[in-house]
Amino acid sequence: MFQSSIMVMAFVVGTLLAVAIPLVGSTAVFKRLSNTGDALAHTSLAGVAIGLACGLNPLITSVIACVVSILVIELIRKKFSKFSELGVAVVLSAGIGIAGIMTSYTKVSNFDSYLFGSILLIDNLELYLVIGIFALDVLFYVFFHKQIFATIYNEEEAKVQGINTSLINFIQSLLLALTIALSAKTIGSLVVSSLIVLPIATALQFKKNYLVTILISIGFSLVSTFLGLTGSYYLDYKPGSTIVIVAVIFLVICLLINPLINFIKTRNTRNKKVS
Amino acid sequence: MIELKNVSFSFKKEPVLQNINLIINDGTFVGVIGPNGAGKTTLIRLILGILKPTSGRIVRTDKKISYVSQTTSLNDSSFPSNVEEVVALGLATNKPFLFDFKSKKKRTEEVLKDVGIYDLRKKLVSELSGGQLQKVKIAKALVSSPSLVVLDEPDAGMDEKSHEKLIETINLLHEKKKITVIFISHHMDDLTNADHIFLVENGKVTSVQEGEKYVSI
């Protein structure tokens, strides 16, 4: 499998995104805004459709669409603070609508590769962009993880203790938008939002602290990507879809095993107390 | 020192606080009481700079401020974090949090011991009782060695025993560390150690004189 340079490239890009996506996605999940990823994925699709219809680079139009969308979501979130999910719903609907209309002006085969991704057809520009966004995501989260955590935990208290919460929120949102836009071509618009939620949901089952939960989610994301790519190579499935199915299987296994482990732990504790 | 000069605040053109004048000196323990919806939290949010006054001026000389807000954190019930992690959050500023791990860990452990929750340090916050969680919030507020701590009804939802212990902890810390404390409470009994008590009612703030009784609502 690794004799093929295409597969090597797919594994490199897959590894970088498998680290970057749960990293930026975790904040959306912890803020109870998991649907943000979904909304951005759909607007990235709208951006791709606009790019293809207007003869522009779809990757660039997808990035612009995602950045504009996250700004709109944040604006609506501030205006209607009690209905933070409202902005997500508005952007998601607009994304689907625009994507649907603009596809009438594009070739179906071109557009399809953005729905489920084409990680096996990555060009050099896309590789450099993925390396760039990976580096930005990792640097931001390594250097500012406490500020990010404090802002998620209690924004008002974080602001009073001197953290620039508006800037932290803005950078987080921007990185989320850029990561999703750049993942649309490689993993696919329809599956990238799943990769934001699934590894974190799986990691949450382990009931560990913040840092360990993030690391576990990156671990699951990496293993899902490696198994998904290997499976797609041998079974000739679409890589993005195979990766997501593997991630779903991991989550289901954890959901089934966890109650069993808890039951055994409780029984052992009870037995110890009795003896 | 904190000084409010002719401060007024309106929300959607409705006056909430009108023409407030007060001074809080360094190292004092100030209690704030008043009926629900009187504007106690608004007064605190103005002092902290979260809200801007509609008119008037606020002078604040304290640099290191900690706030224990009334609202339960959205994430307390399900957020994957342990006590030690949450308390250490109080040390975060705008600077990257990458260096000086040892001294930050040492400081966190000191505060955990001071507040009496050292044994709970590895426990997830979602597994704590209401009283334990409030202690975590107090420890988070104290870990940065602030000169001003603002507590907005930190005893909400606590049972009587936890409540008594919390008040004891706050009084002890104030006496030992000489921190300026602003404590919003519904109970006059909590404020027996307060140097000054302010009553917020009908958009006005008045000083409760020594010996004067205020019936909590």
- Look at A157 and B144 and tell me if their CB atoms are within 8 Å: no
Give me the pLDDT at residue B214, please.
45
CA distance A165 to B51: 15
With CB atoms and an 8 Å threshold, state whether B69 touches A157: yes
Q: Which residues of A touch B125 (CB under 8 A)?
A: none
Q: Which two tokens stand for residue B177?
A: 């560390």
According to the model, what pLDDT value does residue B97 have? 64
Nearest chain B CA: its distance from A112 CA (Å): 38
CB B170 within 8 Å of CB B68: no
Interface of A to B at Cβ within 8 Å reads 30, 32, 142-147, 149-150, 152-154, 156-164, 203-204, 207-213
Q: Is B56 helix (H, G, I), strand (E, B) or coil?
A: strand
Nearest 5°: phi and psi at B176? -70, -45
What are chain A's domains? 5-193 (1.10.3470.10)
Does residue B51 sit at the A interface (CB-CB below 8 Å)?
no
CB contact under 8 A, A143 and B81: no
Q: CA-CA distance, B95 to B206, in Å (whole number)?
A: 40
* In-domain check, residue B184: no
For residue A137, name the pLDDT band (cuts at 50, 70, 90): very high
Does B86 map to a domain? yes
Question: What's the whole-number average pLDDT of chain A?
Answer: 86
Does residue B97 form part of some domain? yes
Residue A5 has a pLDDT of 78
If chain B, 217 residues long, is cut into consecutive pieces of 10 residues, what is the mean pLDDT of each piece?
90 87 88 87 90 91 82 63 91 74 87 89 86 85 90 76 80 83 84 87 77 44
pTM of the predicted model as reported, rounded to 2 decimal places: 0.83
Sign of torsion, CA A126 A127 A132 A134? Answer: positive
Of all residues in chain A, what percent carry a pLDDT higher than 70? 96
Q: Is residue B173 part of a domain?
A: no
Query: Which of B80, B92, B93 shows the shortest C-beta gap to A204?
Result: B80
Q: Which member of A143, A156, A211 has the closest CB to residue B69?
A: A156
On chain A, the residues whose CB falls within 8 A of the CB of B69 are 154, 156-157
**According to the model, what pLDDT value does residue B9 have?**
92
For residue A153, list chain B residues with Cβ-Cβ distance below 8 A. Answer: 73, 75, 79, 81, 86, 89
Identify all chain A residues contacting B150, using CB atoms and an 8 Å cutoff. 160
Indicate if the pLDDT at residue A221 is higher than 90: yes
Condensed to tens digits (0 to 9), the pLDDT of residues B126-183 reads 888 877 888 888 899 989 888 899 988 877 666 777 778 778 888 887 888 788 999 9
Exposed, middle or buried by CB within 10 Å (0-12, 13-18, 19+), for B177? middle
Asked if A143's CB is within 8 angstroms of B98's CB, the reply is yes
CB contact under 8 A, B82 and A209: yes
Q: What confidence tier does A86 reach under pLDDT thresholds 50, 70, 90?
A: confident
pLDDT, tens digit, 9 for 90 and up, residues A55-79: 888 888 999 999 999 888 888 877 7
Per-residue pLDDT reduced to its tens digit, A10-29: 889 889 999 999 999 888 88
Contacts of A118 (CB under 8 A, 6+ apart): A185, A186, A188
Of the candidates A142, A146, A160, the beta carbon closest to that of B89 is on A146
Cβ distance of B92 and A163 shorter than 8 Å: yes
B128 interfaces chain A, CB cutoff of 8 Å: no
Q: Is B34 part of the contact surface with chain A (CB cutoff 8 Å)? A: no
d(CA A177, CA B53): 36
A15 or A272, higher pLDDT: A15
- pLDDT surpassing 50 at residue A232: yes
> What is the interface size between A and B, counted as CB pairs within 8 Å?
86
Q: How many domains does chain B have?
A: 1
pLDDT at residue number A275: 65
Q: How confident is the model at residue A133 (pLDDT cuts 50, 70, 90)?
A: very high
pLDDT in the model for residue A140 = 94
With respect to residue B214, please indicate whether it lies within any of the assigned structural domains.
Answer: no
Residue B47 lies in a domain: no
Is there a domain that residue B94 lies in?
Answer: yes
Q: Note down the domain range covering B132.
A: 73-145
- So what's the pLDDT on residue B211? 46
Residue A190: pLDDT above 80?
A: no
> pLDDT higher for B177 or A50?
A50
Rounded-to-10 torsion of CA A12, A16, A18, A19: 140
Task: Report the greatest alpha carbon distance in chain A.
Answer: 76
Residues of B in contact with A211 (CB under 8 A): 85
Residue A219 has a pLDDT of: 95
